[in-house]
């Protein structure tokens, strides 16, 4: 015989009812939304900072093009404009993913961030192609590096700021398993690599090695392309509903087993819906419990699992021993 607790409103609880009081105290002690809210706010702040800095670079580099007629400055202004576009898409998807469930999206908006990260992966592919094309063209036509100190300073500033963005995005991405932060980290790392190649090429040309930057740019382009492919692969998995690792599934089963009143937990099925897991699990309770007691235990398991950062929805099927 079985019943289920899949997210509906719990029945009124009787005072002193066996499982209710200890179970709810257990669940209340296991999670808080304060840290999640802070991390989401930090993600929004970091993407907005990236947009503002990239806009500043667009203005500065276009001014350099207008004053010095530097085609490299114009190309970098266009690249910075793409950074504005990428960061804007990621900022939008972060805001959308934070929205609560509604009538049209009953399971929330967790797919938004992987969609934004896929767009960032496409931008990385375009950048890789352009870097490789320019490098091969420079090698074939024996082009010399044309870079002045003003642009070197601009590249150095971009390297430092994007290095900070890369480190911050990595830290936030690890805490929340955020596809948007992973995409922002990859985008910032690509900018750091391209800027370092440009600076290296400038100083190499002054030492008599005018084509070193083009030679270095080819493996950098390959690295950027592979990073874009990896980013696309990871987010397609999230959108296609891939199951989490076996270790994570076992950890979720163990969490359910530790809820007071649960004798066994088995037949767990989980898959990603965007950044969140949807989980189904069977629990076994004592046969002599009342229906309300068994329901309370099922609700406690559901709430405890949904307190996990990566779980968006949980359905609990209750079996009798």
* CATH 1.20.1510.10 domain extents, the chain: 34-239
Above 70 in pLDDT, residue 32?
no
Tell me which of 41-55, 196-210, 213-227, 297-311 is least confident.
196-210
- Residue 23 pLDDT: 53
What is the pLDDT averaged over residues 41-68? 89
- Cα(140)–Cα(247) distance, integer angstroms: 51
At residue 130, the pLDDT reads: 86
> Given this model, what pLDDT does residue 140 score?
85
**Residue count (the chain):** 321
In angstroms, the CA 276 to CA 314 distance is 11
User: H/E element holding 176?
Assistant: helix 149-176
2-30+243-320 — its CATH code? 3.30.70.1350
- Determine the pLDDT at residue 112: 94
User: Picking from 17-21, 84-88, 295-299, which range would have the lowest pLDDT averaged per residue?
Assistant: 17-21
In whole angstroms, what separates CA 108 from the centre of its chain?
A: 16
| Residue 158 predicted with pLDDT over 70 | yes
CA–CA gap between residue 86 and residue 190 (Å, rounded): 13
Q: What angle do CA 154, 156, 161 make, to 5 degrees?
A: 95
Q: With 70 as the cut, is the pLDDT of residue 26 above it?
A: no
Calculate the average pLDDT of the chain: 84
* Mean pLDDT calculated for residue range 153-181: 90
Query: 24, 302 in Cβ contact below 8 A?
Result: no
71 versus 149: the higher-pLDDT residue is 149
Least confident stretch, 68-82, 96-110, 159-173: 68-82
Neighbours of 113 (CB within 10 A): 28
> Which residue spans of the chain are classified as CATH 3.30.70.1350?
2-30+243-320
Helix axes 20-28, 291-306, angle to 10 degrees: 0
CATH 3.40.30.10 for the 34-239 domain, yes or no: no
Contact 253, 266 (CB under 8 A): yes
- Section 86-111 average pLDDT: 91
- Report whether pLDDT(94) > 50: yes
Check pLDDT > 60 for residue 47.
yes
Instruction: Using the predicted structure, report yes or no on whether residue 49 has a pLDDT greater than 60.
Output: yes
pLDDT of 311 over the 80 cut: yes
If you average pLDDT over residues 23-45, what whole number do you get?
67
Measure the CA–CA gap between 148 and 199, rounded to whole angstroms. Answer: 10
Percent of the chain with pLDDT over 70: 85
Given a cut of 50, whether residue 9 has pLDDT beyond it is: no
287 secondary structure, DSSP code: T
């Amino acid at each position: 015989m079985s019943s289920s607790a899949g997210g509906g409103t719990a029945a009124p609880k009787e005072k002193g009812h066996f499982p209710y009081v200890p179970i709810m105290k257990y669940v209340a002690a296991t999670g808080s939304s304060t840290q999640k809210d802070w991390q989401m706010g930090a993600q929004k702040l970091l993407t907005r900072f990236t947009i503002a800095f990239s806009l500043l670079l667009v203005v500065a580099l276009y001014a350099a093009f207008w004053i010095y007629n530097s085609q490299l400055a114009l190309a970098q202004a266009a690249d910075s404009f793409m950074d504005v576009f990428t960061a804007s898409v990621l900022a939008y998807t972060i805001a959308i993913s934070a929205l609560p469930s509604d009538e049209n999206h009953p399971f929330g908006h967790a797919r938004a961030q992987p969609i934004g990260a896929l767009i960032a992966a496409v931008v990385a592919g375009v950048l890789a192609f352009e870097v490789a094309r320019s490098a091969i063209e420079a090698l074939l036509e024996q082009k010399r590096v044309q870079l002045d100190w003003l642009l070197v300073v601009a590249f150095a500033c971009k390297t430092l700021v994007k290095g900070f963005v890369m480190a911050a995005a990595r830290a936030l991405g690890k805490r929340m398993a955020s596809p948007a932060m992973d995409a922002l980290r990859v985008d910032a790392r690509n900018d750091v690599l391209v800027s370092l190649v440009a600076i290296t090429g400038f100083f190499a040309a002054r030492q008599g090695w005018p084509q070193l930057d083009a030679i270095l740019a080819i493996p950098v382009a390959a690295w950027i392309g592979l990073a874009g492919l990896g980013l696309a692969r990871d987010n397609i998995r999230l959108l296609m509903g891939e199951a989490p690792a076996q270790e994570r599934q076992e950890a979720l089963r163990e969490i359910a087993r530790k809820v007071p009143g649960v004798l066994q937990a088995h037949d767990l099925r989980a898959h990603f819906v965007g950044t969140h897991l949807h989980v189904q699990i069977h629990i076994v309770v004592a046969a002599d419990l009342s229906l309300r007691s068994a329901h309370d235990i099922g609700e406690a398991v559901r709430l405890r699992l949904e307190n996990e950062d990566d779980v968006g929805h949980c359905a609990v099927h209750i079996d009798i021993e």
